[in-house]
Structure 1
Amino acid sequence: MLAPGVFVNAVSSLTFVFVFVYLTGPRGLSVTEAGLVTGIGGIGLIAGNFTGGGYGDRFGHRRVLLAASALAGGGLVLLPMLPTGALVAALPLAQYALGAIRSANAALVAVIVPEGVRRQAFAVVRCVSNGGFTLGPPLGALIATGLSYDWLFVADGVGTLFFALWTARVVPAARGAARTSAAAPDGGLGRGAWRELRARPAVLTLLGAILVVDVVYRQQYSTFPVYLADHGLDTGAYGLIIALNGAVILVLELPAAVALRARPPLRVIGAGLLLVGAGYGALLLGTGIAAAVAMMVLLSLGEILYKTPATAYVADQAPAHSIGLYQSLYAGVSASGVVLGPPLGGALYSAAPGLLWPMCVVLAAGAGAAVLWAHAAQQRRAPRTPRPAHETGSQPKAVAG
């Protein structure tokens, strides 16, 4: 029931693709000024990811999701009416709320779905979200050219407000509340929460690996199209290759979640990170369309293997009173490449183009090896402990709603 709201919200998420064009076009900002505003907005987005779930532990995940959706939706609707100078403050605030929605929604799914089937649940949410994001950009292009860029923000805001209303309708307040009041008083990583996190070294290793891999993964949106252009492939070819990513995920995400539900999550995640590295390694074999297609297929398969199981694993490992905090930590590191990826990849590509893809291979392979090592260490520490439900794929007993 929650998934249709996620889908509509994803379809209407139009502004993230066109905000830079909007700022340099109708708003008349220079490229440098637009880069500064979008950069600050990106920082706000990451900050929202890092905090939204933690606040949910204190105030209730449903309540935080509704508040963040109302703030983001209302802000996006009003943005076209604001003077250009006010955008510097208003856009990052809206981006912060959008980031908080992402982590609060993940925490809400983790709370209302029992351990043992969270992988499948997160796969459903990711599948409908990717479907929405596939439809959103071409729809946004039609709105921008047929009406105006201002209507993009209105549509995005209305879609976000619809998501809030839909969530309020289909998720009862009792199901979306915080599990317990024992969460950190500030909704963040207090001393007690930090001790609990350090007691879970596999989670810390996973978070570090995801942080590294997200910087690598995001190169497909920044340096990769530049690389294609430098080797004679135009924007149309890049668009088709990126569309292949969405197609592979839409076709295989749900079947993979079901087929691999009994596999140890860290082993699946580690394999996915290795596939991400293998994808960029394909670019070392040639500069044509075949190498680019192979890269995108391998990258998409790696994404399927690591993103959904990692989200579910972090939820399963979290104490009941800190599910939102752990989802915020994962959401934050899994989106950090949005801010870190372009400048780091761009600087390396400008200085030494031939080193970028080998570096991506090494970083992704190292991250995958670290997660596989964490799995082996976890097995050594508890060799006789029965495997938990999220590793065996066994179905939990029914619980009262």
Structure 2
Amino acid sequence: MQGFKDVPRVVWLLAAGVFVNAVVSFTFVFVFLYLTGPRGLGAAQAGMVTGIGGAGLVAGNFTGGWYGDRFGHRRVLLAASTLGGLTLMTFPLLSTPLLYAALPLAQYASGVIRAANSALVAVAVPEGVRRQAFAVVRCVSNGGFTLGPPLGALVATGLSYDWLFVADGLGTLFFALWTARVVPARGASRTPAAAPDGGRGRGVWQELRARPAVLVLLAAILLTDLVYRQQYGTFPVFLADHGLDTRAFGLVIALNGGVILLLELPAAVALRHRPPLPVIATGLVLVGAGYAALLAGAGIASATAMILLLSLGEILYKTTATAYVADQAPEHAIGRFQSLYAGISVSGVVLGPPLGGALYAAAPGLLWPLCAGLAAGAGGVVFWASRCGGRHAARPAHETGSHPRAVAG
């Protein structure tokens, strides 16, 4: 494939494992139904358990890269995959009170896996090819998540909900074994790469302050993810309140996966030479435009327009932002930079539902204009940062981590 020939073989192999794991990672879709169904919890209790699990996911994303910089990203990915897989497989055997501890532990491991996997890709790929590499991994992951929920529904109804957790756990353990096989362990180190001055270099906050455009980007992603996650929370409630049932929501959401599968890789190739910050800014503005489409009312046409615009925005900003943060990171802090981005990019999982739900309950007419304004404003700030020297001054390859090298274990 033209445009992907420079993506290292190890990334393609890692992506194959990501796909298989994503196909069976369907428990997050059905966990609320599992808790309120077979486990007999009330909606409030189930919401508390899943909320604690979401906090574990965000915490895992924030810390996975920090572990990787210290112990090696490959080792951390293997350890987290093993822990997560074994924890998931024990769910059917656990009493309900123990689920309050097991679910956040499994979600924490999932977050660590996500951050460590992102850092592995970052250190395996030279600067200039990272957008394509991250697009490959994101595309196959979305493909797996598109296939997973229908398969999970068949397993839950044909066998039992317990088998969902067994299958998810086995898939996570497979990912650990696959990673151990395809990602080389050579070059493994228990300590971060040395900084140019021969020490460990500046702390991560000092490094971030030296890169103000990265700080601006992280703040913009935080705001945008609050908006982006409304598609899974207040958006279906909005549709239901206007007479559209769950099937309509399912079809509209499925369109998101289809657009990403169709356009993610071509977009990464077509835009690979474009400056990253304006591409990201355009994506954030498109997310805002998606929610602005709902101002026309609740109907299939406006919902479809919303999802199409949201999907196009996601394609532009998510892959590009991940690669930009990796390119800006000093070599001794690649994992920590990726962890910060990974954690912030899923912060809406925890913050989005309560904030969006509270506003929708108090003033439903304000929610979509506010969502549109926040995302569009975030895009405008990122575009401003790009015009104010956001493209950080060129740094030598040994500092940026941009030269090709074996994946550190």
Q: TM-score, length-normalised on structure 1?
A: 0.92
Give 3-state SS (helix, strand or coil) of 2:272's partner: coil
> 1:84 — aligned with what?
96
> 1:340 — aligned with what?
351
Q: Aligned letter for 1:227?
A: F
Q: Give yes or no for the alignment of 1:267 onto 2:278.
A: yes
Give matches, 1:117-132, under 5 Å: 117-132=129-144
After superposition, the C-alpha distances for 1:312-355 in whole angstroms (9 at most, x for unaligned) are 00000000010000010000000000011111111111111110
Which has the larger displacement, 169-178 or 84-93?
A: 169-178
| Residue 400 of structure 1, CA deviation | 7.5
> 1:356 — aligned with what?
367
Q: Give yes or no for the alignment of 1:11 onto 2:23.
A: yes
Q: Give yes or no for the alignment of 1:369 onto 2:380.
A: yes
> 2:244 — aligned with what?
233
- Equivalent in 54, 66, 74 of residue 42 of structure 1: 54
Q: Give yes or no for the alignment of 1:110 onto 2:122.
A: yes
> 2:163 — aligned with what?
151
- Equivalent in 285, 295, 306 of residue 306 of structure 2: 295
**Percent identity of the aligned residues?**
76
Give matches, 1:1-400, under 5 Å: 1-174=13-186, 180-182=192-194, 192-378=203-389
| Residue 90 of structure 1, CA deviation | 1.3
Separation in 2, partners of 1:154, 1:182: 42
Give 3-state SS (helix, strand or coil) of 2:388's partner: helix
Separation in 2, partners of 1:373, 1:398: 32
Q: Return closer, same or farther for 1:388/1:237 CA change in 2, 3 Å cut-off.
A: farther
Give 3-state SS (helix, strand or coil) of 1:378's partner: coil
Contact 1:48/1:96 (CA < 8 Å) preserved in 2? yes
Contact 1:58/1:181 (CA < 8 Å) preserved in 2? no
Q: TM-score, length-normalised on structure 2?
A: 0.91
Contact 1:119/1:309 (CA < 8 Å) preserved in 2? yes
After superposition, the C-alpha distances for 1:156-207 in whole angstroms (9 at most, x for unaligned) are 0000000010011000012665783448xxxxxx972211111110000000
Contact 1:62/1:177 (CA < 8 Å) preserved in 2? no
Q: Aligned letter for 1:165?
A: L
Contact 2:124/2:405 (CA < 8 Å) preserved in 1? no
Contact 1:268/1:306 (CA < 8 Å) preserved in 2? yes
Q: Return closer, same or farther for 1:26/1:259 CA change in 2, 3 Å cut-off.
A: same
Give 3-state SS (helix, strand or coil) of 2:192's partner: coil
Q: Aligned letter for 2:240?
A: A
Give 3-state SS (helix, strand or coil) of 1:283's partner: helix
| Residue 287 of structure 1, CA deviation | 2.3
After superposition, the C-alpha distances for 1:211-231 in whole angstroms (9 at most, x for unaligned) are 100010000001101111111
Give 3-state SS (helix, strand or coil) of 1:284's partner: helix
User: What are structure 1's unaligned runs of at least 5 residues?
Assistant: 184-189, 390-395
Q: Aligned letter for 2:236?
A: P
After superposition, the C-alpha distances for 1:132-179 in whole angstroms (9 at most, x for unaligned) are 000000110000000000000000000000001001100001266578
Contact 2:127/2:403 (CA < 8 Å) preserved in 1? no
| Residue 14 of structure 1, CA deviation | 1.2
| Residue 35 of structure 1, CA deviation | 1.1
| Residue 399 of structure 1, CA deviation | 5.9
| Residue 32 of structure 1, CA deviation | 1.4
- Aligned Cα root-mean-square deviation (Å): 2.0
> Between Structure 1 and Structure 2, how many residues are aligned?
386
Separation in 1, partners of 2:14, 2:406: 19
Separation in 1, partners of 2:138, 2:287: 18
Separation in 2, partners of 1:169, 1:377: 45
After superposition, the C-alpha distances for 1:227-261 in whole angstroms (9 at most, x for unaligned) are 11111211111111001100000000000000000
After superposition, the C-alpha distances for 1:23-61 in whole angstroms (9 at most, x for unaligned) are 111111121111111111111110000000111000000
Contact 1:63/1:177 (CA < 8 Å) preserved in 2? no
> 2:4 — aligned with what?
none
Q: Return closer, same or farther for 1:253/1:291 CA change in 2, 3 Å cut-off.
A: same
